[in-house]
Amino acid sequence: MHRFMVAILLLAAPHGAFAATGELFAAPNFIPLGKAGAGIGRGPSDDTGTLGDVDGDGDLDLVVAWARWAPQWGWMVASNDGLGGLVPTHNVTRPSREEPGTPIVSIWGDDFDGDGLLDLAFREGHSLELWHNRGEDGFATILQLSNVGFVGLADGEGDGDVDLLVTEYEEHDDEVLHSHEGPSQATLWSNDGDAAFVRGDRFTLDSEERLWPRLWPAEQSLGVGGAARLLWLRSCWRLEEAGPTEVWLTQPWAASAEPPLFYESMVNPCYSTPLQAGRDGQVDLVGVAEVTAIPSETFVNAYFFTYHGLALWRLDASGVVASHTLLGSQIHVESHPLVSDLNGDGLMDVAVIDSNEETGPALVVLLGQRNGVPVLEGRYRLSSTIDEALAGDSNGDGVIEGRHQVSGTGSEVLAGDLNGDGAAELVVLGRVQSGRFKGGSYFYTKGGAFVFINQNSPPTAVAVESATPSDFVLGANYPNPFNPATTIPLSVPDGAEAVDVGIYNLLGQLVRQVWSGPLAAGEHRLTWDGRDDKGQLVASGAYLYQVRVGEQLRTRKMVKLE
């Protein structure tokens, strides 16, 4: 028997009015991305950008995949100037495809070999490539796969290395069958630690329903450590199917995997992002509240989708599904919500792009609360002052204006510490107005990135307590690589008399004792500020963090950037 509870938290104000501008972030600066910018925002909104250190200077750079109708696609590096600004420095154009139409291109990044440099994964259609960053020698292709779907880059086995998780397709002439009708399965490509990937085990979910795997981020899985977890949901392409849907949470390749968690829900939270897990079997998802499928007048069995509102679903293994409305239907959601700790309090916050033209496209930020339900922090308009070199005919009078304020649209939001102060900035990939048609409506052709600088001072708090776990778990630190600070999540069970948390260099020498003494049973997040016991900043490179609880010992690796 299913029980369904609804709690309305935020109601839409009359006539589409909405919240005031927030205070956490400064007004954005729009950074054009040159010719590559013309291809931003012309395809699927998600997974077209990633942040990481490309050039080894310790700052987070931006890498953006772009696609044009030509059809051409490629990627661009915008290097960090150290102050939160981004400067386009490198553009790569891939060979044109024979197929007509705009290519479907996605990009992801991580550090494959622990050297602190950003390595890349590219998907174009059903082809996937891994690119290893070799510093001054540039990028080199190390793996090419076909007929696969990307699931994630994560530590699949619990050995500290970043592995590749994919789904494998059978070839079909029908693109829909090719993409979405395979069994509920995922395959691990194991990383040996030196960026060499070898095909590993294939996991098939024991379910009669065809479900789609999604990576559950480690930092959102307190109470569970080691290997990556997968969340299995019904495909969003099958919205017409009625009745309850299965939801699974598994840890397929862990050495001592926990039994899968199973939920049965009357709602299909397919357009959602993991928010939190690990509390007494409860799974929290945040995502689109309303999905409307509009049949295409041109293509058979094809739909256009519109997305409205933001909701929080709390799935409980006992069968309870609690739904909280976070944002009303006047919010036109453009892409998957971003989930990250934006104000440094150890709780997961949410950022989402609102593309409603009537109220003006904006970035909407919600802050996590102790009860697990985020609340609205503010709304930030996607607008910026652009220089004459970027200006167009903004008012339709045939004259090119100089420096002036323009509005824009957004397609994806990313988070990372761009200026090195320990607080996460937000980067919204999007476009700005270049002019008006004679009918009065704007058109958008200048592609680039809106950069929102975080005005929050990073906290110095050491630990955050939560629910009581049944076992001792050391989670993956985040961010990793980091500069200057990083957070170490761990779970302490009942009966633990003393807890020691230390940072060691690769020679086994103690660098910093982060914590020594009792910790209450529950989930904690400890912050290391990147300094040694003398208060000096440590050098860049790889370090080990080790936690001892009684006779139990756990060790993991982290990388500090310059």
401 within domain boundaries: no
DSSP code, position 114: S
Per-range mean pLDDT, top range of 31-40, 232-241, 488-497, 523-532: 523-532
463: confidence class by pLDDT, cuts 50, 70, 90 = very low
Does the pLDDT of residue 174 top 60, yes or no? no
Helix (H) / strand (E) containing 492: strand 486-492
Q: What is the CATH number of the domain that holds 478?
A: 2.60.40.4070
More confident site: 149 or 283: 149
466: confidence class by pLDDT, cuts 50, 70, 90 = very low
% of the chain residues with pLDDT over 90: 22
| Angstrom distances, CA of residue 114 to CA of 109, 210, 222 | 13, 36, 23
**pLDDT tens digits, one per residue of 255-291:** 766 678 888 776 666 677 887 765 456 788 888 888 7
471: confidence class by pLDDT, cuts 50, 70, 90 = low
Which pTM does this prediction carry?
0.76
Question: What b/e readout covers 265-286, taking b as 16+ CB neighbours within 10 angstroms?
Answer: bebbbbbbbbbbbbbeebbbbb
- For residue 158, which amino acid is it? G
- Average pLDDT of the segment spanning 126-150: 92
- For residue 508, which amino acid is it? G
Distance CA 511, CA 503 (A): 5
249: confidence class by pLDDT, cuts 50, 70, 90 = confident
298 within domain boundaries: yes
Question: What b/e readout covers 105-135, taking b as 16+ CB neighbours within 10 angstroms?
Answer: bbbbbbbbbbbbbbbbbbbbbbebebbbbee
518 within domain boundaries: yes
| Angstrom distances, CA of residue 209 to CA of 32, 212, 337 | 45, 10, 26
Q: What is the pLDDT of residue 212?
A: 87
Q: What is the pLDDT of residue 6?
A: 33
Last residue of a domain, one of 384, 413, 446: 384
Per-range mean pLDDT, top range of 379-383, 471-475, 493-497: 379-383
195 within domain boundaries: no
Q: Could you tell me if 380 and 477 lie in one domain?
A: no
386: confidence class by pLDDT, cuts 50, 70, 90 = low
Distance CA 501, CA 482 (A): 18
Q: What is the pLDDT of residue 175?
A: 46
181 within domain boundaries: no
Helix (H) / strand (E) containing 560: strand 552-560
Does the pLDDT of residue 124 top 50, yes or no? yes
% of the chain residues with pLDDT over 70: 74
Distance CA 234, CA 456 (A): 38
517 within domain boundaries: yes
538 within domain boundaries: yes
Does the pLDDT of residue 5 top 80, yes or no? no
320: confidence class by pLDDT, cuts 50, 70, 90 = confident
Last residue of a domain, one of 362, 384, 406: 384
Q: What is the pLDDT of residue 26?
A: 93
Nearest alpha carbon to residue 471 among 276, 252, 226? 226
- Average pLDDT of the segment spanning 248-256: 82
**pLDDT tens digits, one per residue of 216-241:** 875 554 334 467 888 888 876 655 55
Q: What is the CATH number of the domain that holds 340?
A: 2.40.128
81 within domain boundaries: no
Count of the separate structural domains present in the chain: 2
Does the pLDDT of residue 171 top 80, yes or no? no
Q: What is the pLDDT of residue 44?
A: 53
Does the pLDDT of residue 453 top 90, yes or no? yes
344: confidence class by pLDDT, cuts 50, 70, 90 = confident
Q: What is the pLDDT of residue 404?
A: 59
Does the pLDDT of residue 447 top 80, yes or no? yes
Q: What is the pLDDT of residue 520?
A: 81
Mean of the per-residue pLDDT values for the chain?
Answer: 77
User: Structural domain of residue 504, as residue ranges?
Assistant: 473-560
Q: Could you tell me if 371 and 273 lie in one domain?
A: yes
Does the pLDDT of residue 435 top 60, yes or no? no
Task: Give the lowest-confidence range in 108-117, 291-300, 343-352, 398-407.
Answer: 398-407
**pLDDT tens digits, one per residue of 26-82:** 999 998 887 666 667 555 556 789 999 999 888 899 999 887 665 677 889 999 987
152: confidence class by pLDDT, cuts 50, 70, 90 = very high
Last residue of a domain, one of 368, 384, 400: 384
Q: Could you tell me if 488 and 378 lie in one domain?
A: no
Question: What b/e readout covers 526-548, taking b as 16+ CB neighbours within 10 angstroms?
Answer: bbbebeeeeeeebebeebbbbbb
